[in-house]
Every structure is written in structure tokens, then in C-alpha cells.
Amino acid sequence: MTRILAFESSCDETGVAIVEDGTKIIANHIISQIDIHREYGGVVPEIASRKHTEVISQMTQKVLAEHEGRIDAIAATRGPGLMGSLLVGLSFAKALAYSWNIPFVPVHHLEGHIFSVFLNDSTAEFPALALLVSGGHTSLIGCAAAHDYEILGSTRDDAVGECFDKVARLLKLSYPGGPSIQAAAETGNASAITFPRGLAKSNDLDFSYSGLKTAVLYAIRDDPGLLTNDVAASFQEAAVDVLLLKTKKALAQTRAPRLFVAGGVAANTLLRARLSEEIDVPVHMPALDLCIDNAAMIGAAAHSRFVHGMLGDISCTPEPGMTLA
Ligand code: KG4
Ligand code: ZN
């Protein structure tokens, strides 16, 4: 049995967790700064790093109080993310590992999202195709084995979560945009407006979401009488449609035996429902609260790295632009 104490602080959520053997959550605490950043319409990096500093020590004490026995290693997100935010979690984790004299495991944030599907799901395994949809990323990733990834397609401009956030702002809905658009769409007509499906006809597996955002801008500018809920529902339909289309194309090309879906946008109910209905290989999606940024997923990825001897040390520094493959 291996227990890892893990930290996530790449953006505006401080996460501290203890994960056993990469799958079992012993403790998992998240403090979100969403209410603080909401008034600015997005994350303010300087405020984010200060808030991480304020809470990380007490959160760690609380998490440690919830378990008995030894901790075998400490993990933290190394990148990608905001430099100041990453620095807080990574430095805290390294210092603790150094003073306890146990291994330190740096983790790529997106690898954490990929491994979030292993939490409480004993049937998930590699190889797989991963659809990673978050505020900063929209990618289809071939996962031949743990730590063996190939980016098959990515967004050429905005990420899908970023597009939800920007469209919510256009519609005067609250930040973050994903949940507020989803809520508005529930009572809207998804066929009210036909929005463009970016790169739907291209042969590659890339995405483009900036045209969709602009189409929403023009639609509400040209017809101020449009109902917000109809625009939200039509937008969500278009955004999710492209994810399905490209994922099906990637599954056909790679013949991957299963699909992992992760990242904040994986919490979207329309996306989850359509994936369950339309994808004919097993689909593994984390529970809703494990889709958004959390430290349990970092602990899950760190367990595999720990087992494979992929450790870091005290010299490890944050990498805000860290690449996965
Ligand atoms: O993975 P995450 O917590 O942070 C990043 O690594 O980016 O993802 C946050 C993103 C935000 O853009 C948010 O609007 C989106 O996930 N999101 C959703 C939903 N819940 C969160 N998008 C669509 N539908 C949702 N229910
Ligand atoms: Zn994330």
C-alpha cells in the first residue's frame, strides 16, 4: 500500500489530498477562489498566488489529521499553469518532502486530469484515447500506456472551457461560464440558432472555438430580442457537437479500446449524456467533483510515477508552459 500526499495549485483552486495506490481517496480538500475572481470576470494571477499562500498550510494540517499511518511520497503540480500559483504548491510540497526525507514527485497538470478517471474506478486501464477539455486545454491524446502520450489534436485558438467562459460574459452570465451556461441552457431551445461547428469538415483532429464565440457575439448584436437561454442552449449544442464529432473520428483512426474524458468541461451534463449514448467503446469519466481541478488526480498520477521511479528532487522548478508528450 502506497499513500501519497498531493498538492494542486496551478490556477485558482488550492487542492490537498491523500490518495492510496492511485485509486482510493483518503482525503481530498479543495478551496476554490472563484468568488474572489468572479468580480474581475476571470482569474487574477497575483491574487491567486496570495490566496494559495494563505490557505495551504492549514489545509495540509486538516488533511493529515484525517489519516493515520505513514505517507510514502509527496507530489505537486509542476505545470502548466500560473507561475506564482505553481510556485506556492510546488515549494510547499518540496519543503515537506525534504524535511520528512521522503520522495518528491512532480506531476504534469494534464496527466493529473487523465489519471482522474482512475479514482474510484477499478475498470479504467491503458491504452486509451483521452479527450481533455478544460479552461486552458482542448486535446485528443493517444495514451499507449501510462506516461506514453501522443497529442493527436488540439485547439488552434480558444479552449472549449475558455469559450464557455467568454460566451457567458457576452450573455451576462456569471463566471465560471460552464455551469452558468449549462443552467441557462436547461430551459432554452438548442435549435433556436445554428452556430458554426469549428473545423468540423477538416480531416485532422484539431479544434477551433474562437469562431463560435464570435458568432455568438454577432448573433446577439444583430438580434437583441434573442432569449439568453436559447443562445446558451444553441451555443452549448454547437460546442459539444464538435467534441463528439472529433472524438468519434479519433476513435475510428486510433481504434483505441476505451475513452477517457477529463477536465472541467467533462462536468457538462450534455457532453456526458451524449458520450454515454453515442460512443461505442467504454467511456470513463470522473465523478463531477473530480472533473474540476483537484489534488486527488495529482495523487493518482503521482502514484504511477512513483511506481515507475519517475521522481523529482529539491531542484525541481515550476514550468508554466510545460508540455505533456
Ligand atoms: O479543469 P478546470 O477546473 O481548470 C483548468 O485546468 O482549466 O476547468 C475549468 C473550466 C472552466 O472554463 C469552466 O467554465 C469549465 O471548466 N466548466 C464547464 C462546466 N463546469 C466547469 N464547462 C461546461 N459545462 C460545465 N458544467
Ligand atoms: Zn485543470
Length of the chain, please?
325
pLDDT tens track for 270-304: 999 999 999 999 999 999 999 999 999 999 999 99
| 325 pLDDT above the threshold of 80 | no
pLDDT tens track for 1-27: 999 999 999 999 999 999 999 999 999
**pLDDT exceeding 90 applies to what percent of the chain?**
92
Mean pLDDT in the chain? Answer: 96
pLDDT tens track for 221-258: 999 999 999 999 999 999 999 999 999 999 999 999 99
Give CA–CA dist 284/130, Å, rounded. Answer: 9
Indicate which ligand has the atom closest to the C-alpha of 177. 1
Give CA–CA dist 218/221, Å, rounded. Answer: 5
Helix (H, G, I), strand (E, B) or coil at 261: strand
Nearest CA residue ID for atom 22, ligand 1: 178
| 42 pLDDT above the threshold of 90 | no
Q: How far is the CA of 270 from the centre of ligand 1 (A)?
A: 14
pLDDT tens track for 129-178: 999 999 999 999 999 999 999 999 999 999 999 999 999 999 999 988 99
Q: What is the pLDDT of residue 69?
A: 86
| 38 pLDDT above the threshold of 90 | no
Where does the pLDDT of residue 35 fall: very low under 50, low under 70, confident under 90, or very high at 90 and above?
confident
Q: How far is the CA of 265 from the centre of ligand 2 (A)?
A: 10
Rg (CA), the chain: 20
Helix (H, G, I), strand (E, B) or coil at 142: strand
Cβ pair 316, 78 in contact under 8 A: yes
Q: What is the pLDDT of residue 49?
A: 94
Sheet holding 128-133, edge to edge: 148-154, 138-145, 128-133, 259-262, 283-284
Contacts of 241 (CB under 8 A, 6+ apart): 197, 200
Whose CA is closest to 72, among 28, 95, 103, 98? 103
| 41 pLDDT above the threshold of 80 | no
Q: What is the pLDDT of residue 254?
A: 97
Q: What residues form DSSP beta bridges with 58? A: none
As for ligand 1, residues whose beta carbon falls within 6 Å of it are: 11, 134-136, 161-162, 164-165, 176-179, 182, 263-265, 267-268, 292-293
Q: What is the pLDDT of residue 312?
A: 94
Where does the pLDDT of residue 208 fall: very low under 50, low under 70, confident under 90, or very high at 90 and above?
very high
Q: How far is the CA of 160 from the centre of ligand 1 (A)?
A: 9
Integer angstrom CA distances of residue 39 from 43, 49, 161, 224, 264: 10, 17, 18, 25, 20
| 54 pLDDT above the threshold of 90 | yes
Q: How far is the CA of 100 from the centre of ligand 2 (A)?
A: 28
Q: How far is the CA of 133 from the centre of ligand 2 (A)?
A: 8
Q: What residues form DSSP beta bridges with 303? A: none
Nearest CA residue ID for atom 13, ligand 1: 178
Ligand 1 nearest-atom number relative to CA 135: 7
CB under 8 Å, gap of 24 or more: what pairs does 66-72 form?
Answer: 66/18, 66/26, 66/27, 67/3, 67/18, 67/26, 67/27, 69/3, 70/3, 71/3, 71/4, 71/5, 71/18, 71/100, 71/102, 72/2, 72/3, 72/4, 72/102, 72/103, 72/306
Q: What is the pLDDT of residue 223?
A: 95
Q: What is the mean pLDDT of residues 36-55?
A: 90
Nearest CA residue ID for atom 26, ligand 1: 268
Neighbours of 206 (CB within 10 A): 18
Q: What is the pLDDT of residue 299?
A: 98
**pLDDT exceeding 70 applies to what percent of the chain?**
100
Integer angstrom CA distances of residue 197 from 185, 209, 240, 273, 292: 18, 8, 9, 19, 25
Q: What is the pLDDT of residue 37?
A: 87
Question: Which is it for the CA torsion 309, 106, 299, 125, positive or negative?
Answer: negative
230 phi, psi to nearest 5 deg: -70, -40
| 62 pLDDT above the threshold of 90 | yes
